[in-house]
Chain A
Amino acid sequence: MRRSERESLESRSKITRRGLMLGAGQAAIVAVLGLRMRKMQLEQSEQYRMLAEGNSVKIRLIPPARGLIYDRNGVLIAGNEQNYRVTITREDAADVEQLLADLRRLIPLSDEDAADVLAEIRKQPPHAPVLVEDRLSWEEFSRIAVNTPALPGVSPEVGLSRVYPRSFDFAHVVGYVGPVSDYDLSQIENPDPLLRIPKFQLGKLGIEAKMEEVLRGHAGQRRVEVNSAGREMRELDRREGEPGATLQLTLDYRLQNFAHQRLGEESAAAVVMDVTNGDIMAIVSTPSFDPNLFVRGISSADYRSLMQDDHRPMADKSVQGLYPPGSTFKVVTALAALEAGVIGPEETVYCPGHIEMGGRRFHCWKRSGHGRVNVVQSLERSCDVFYYEVAQKVGIDKIAEMAKRLGVGVRHDLPMSAVAEGIAPTKAWKQERYGKEWRIGDTINSSIGQGYVLASPLQLAVMTARVATGRAVAPRLIRSRDGIEEPLAEAAPLGLEEDWLDHIRRGMISVVNGTNGTARGARIVEAGWKMAGKTGTSQVRSAVVDNKSVPWEQRDHALFVCYAPVEAPKYAVALIVEHGGGGSSAAAPIARDILLYALADGLPPLAAYPAEQRGKIKAQQEALDLVDPETVTTTGRSRA
Chain B
Amino acid sequence: MSYLESNLKTVPTGLRKIFYLNWPLVILLSAVAGFGFLMLYSVAGGDPTTWAEPQMKRFAAGMIAMVIVGFTPIWFWRNISAIAYLIALLLLIAVEFFGDIGMGAQRWLVLGPLRLQPSELMKIALVMFLAAYYDWLDPKRVSRPLWVLIPVAIILVPTFLVLTQPDLGTAVMLVLGGAIVMFAAGVSFWYFGTVAALVVALVFTVMESRGTDWQLLHEYQFKRIDTFLDPSADPLGAGYNITQAQIALGSGGWSGRGYMQGTQSRLNFLPEKHTDFIFTTLAEEFGFVGAFSLLMLYAGIIAFSIHSALINRDRYSSLLTIGIAGTFFLFFAINMAMVMGLMPVVGVPLPLVSYGGTAMMILLAAFGLVQSANIHRPR
Contact = CB atoms under 8 A, between A and B. Distances in A.
Interface in B239-264: 244, 246-254, 263-264
Nearest to B5: A2
B340 A2 contact: no
B309 interface: yes
A632 interface: no
Interface stretch (A8-16, A182-190, A416-424, A533-541): A8-16
A303 B253 CA distance: 62
B295 A34 contact: yes
Contact of B250 (A2, A11, A18, A40): A40
Interface in B150-197: 180, 183-186
A15 B184 contact: yes
B283 A33 contact: no
A57 B245 CA distance: 13
Contact of A22 (B3, B184, B235): B184
A57 B236 CA distance: 11
A223 B235 contact: yes
Given A16-B310, A45-B250, A56 B235 contact: no
A52 B251 contact: yes
Interface range on chain A (Cβ under 8 Å from partner): 35 or more
Interface string B22-37: 0000000000000000
B288 A42 contact: yes
A170 to B, nearest CB: 38
A23 B309 CA distance: 11
A48 B295 contact: no
A19 B319 CA distance: 9
Interface in A10-49: 10-12, 14-16, 18-23, 26-27, 29-30, 32-34, 36-38, 40-42, 44-45, 47-49
A47 B288 CA distance: 15
Nearest to B305: A23
Nearest to A14: B186
Interface string A236-259: 110100000000000000000000
Contact of A19 (B251, B306, B342): B306
A307 interface: no
Interface residues of B, number: 53
Given A36-B342, A239-B236, A8 B302 contact: no
B190 to A, nearest CB: 14
A53 interface: yes
Nearest to B180: A22
Nearest to B234: A239
B186 A11 contact: yes
Contacts of A30: 295, 298-299, 302, 333
A38 B288 contact: yes
B315 A237 contact: no
B283 A37 contact: yes
A23 B288 contact: no
Contacts of B292: 34, 37-38
A369 B312 CA distance: 117
A8 to B, nearest CB: 6
Contact of B322 (A22, A48, A57): A22
Main secondary structure of the interface of A (DSSP, over half): helix
Given A22-B180, A36-B342, A15 B185 contact: yes
Given A37-B292, A52-B263, A23 B306 contact: yes
B318 interface: yes
Nearest to A239: B236
Given A8-B3, A40-B249, A223 B236 contact: yes
A26 B328 CA distance: 11
B99 interface: no
A1 interface: yes
B250 A49 contact: yes
Task: Indicate the member of A21, A23, A27, A49 with the most B CB atoms within 10 Å.
Answer: A23
A521 to B, nearest CB: 68
B3 A37 contact: no
Contact of B253 (A20, A26, A33, A49): A49
Given A48-B250, A221-B236, A237-B236, A19 B291 contact: no
A8 B138 CA distance: 10
Nearest to A51: B247
Interface in B264-305: 264, 267, 269, 283-284, 287-288, 291-292, 295, 298-299, 302-303
A72 B303 CA distance: 77
B326 A22 contact: yes
A627 interface: no
B120 to A, nearest CB: 21
Contacts of B263: 52-53, 56
A7 interface: yes
B254 A56 contact: no
Contacts of A42: 253-254, 288
B66 interface: no
A23 B302 contact: yes
Contacts of A23: 302-303, 306
B379 interface: no
Contacts of B39: none
A230 to B, nearest CB: 12
Contacts of B139: 7, 10-11, 14
A44 to B, nearest CB: 6
A59 interface: yes
Interface in B83-108: none
Contacts of A237: 235-236
A118 to B, nearest CB: 27
Contacts of B315: 8, 11-12, 15
B337 interface: yes
A36 B306 contact: no
Contact of B318 (A19, A36, A51): A19
Given A8-B3, A41-B291, 4 more contacts: A11-B315, A26-B299, A26-B302, A34-B295
Interface of B: 1, 3, 138-140, 180, 183-186, 235-237, 244, 246-254, 263-264, 267, 269, 283-284, 287-288, 291-292, 295, 298-299, 302-303, 306, 309-310, 313, 315, 318-319, 322, 326, 329, 333, 336-337, 340, 342
17 contacts: A11-B315, A15-B310, A15-B319, A19-B184, A20-B306, A22-B180, A26-B299, A26-B302, A33-B336, A36-B340, A38-B292, A41-B291, A45-B250, A45-B251, A48-B251, A52-B251, A52-B263
4 closest cross-chain pairs (CB), A and B? A48-B250, A11-B139, A52-B251, A41-B288
